[in-house]
Amino acid sequence: MRVVVLSGGRSSEHEVSLAGGASVARGLRSAGHEVVEVMLTRAGTWLHEDEELRLRAGGGLLEADVVFPVLHGPFGEDGTVQGLLEMLDVPYVGSGVLASAVCLDKVVAKDLMAQAGIPQVAYVGVRAGRWAAAREEVLADLAVLGLPVFVKPARLGSSVGIAKVADPAELGAALDAAFQHDPCVIVEAMSAGVEVECSVLGPTSAPRVSEPGEIVLQTEWYDFAAKYEPDGMQLRVPARISDAAHDRLRTIAADAFTRFGCSGLARADFFVEGETVLLNELNTMPGFTPTSVYAKLWELGGVPYDEVVTRLCELGVGRHAQERSYRH
Residue 211 is a catalytic residue: no
**246 with 270: CB under 8 angstroms?**
no
Residue 11 is a catalytic residue: no
| Cα–Cα distance for residue pair 144/120, rounded to 1 Å | 16
Residue 267 is a catalytic residue: yes
| Cα–Cα distance for residue pair 27/33, rounded to 1 Å | 9
* One-letter amino acid of 200: V
Catalytically annotated residue among 17, 23, 158, 280: 158
Which helix or strand (DSSP H or E) is residue 293 part of? helix 293-300
* One-letter amino acid of 223: D
Residue 77 is a catalytic residue: no
**37 with 28: CB under 8 angstroms?**
no
Catalytically annotated residue among 283, 305, 311, 319: 283
Residue 13 is a catalytic residue: yes
Closest CA relative to residue 260, chosen from 240, 232, 283:
283
Residue 49 is a catalytic residue: no
Catalytically annotated residue among 77, 78, 223, 269: 269
Catalytically annotated residue among 7, 10, 13, 123: 13
Residues 6+ apart with CB under 8 A from 174: 151, 163, 165
Catalytically annotated residue among 188, 195, 214, 281: 281
**DSSP character for 92?**
B
Residue 281 is a catalytic residue: yes
Question: Apex CA 76: angle with CA 292 and CA 300, to 5°?
Answer: 20
Catalytically annotated residue among 92, 123, 222, 228: 228
Which residues are known to be catalytic? 13, 158, 228, 267, 269, 281, 283, 287
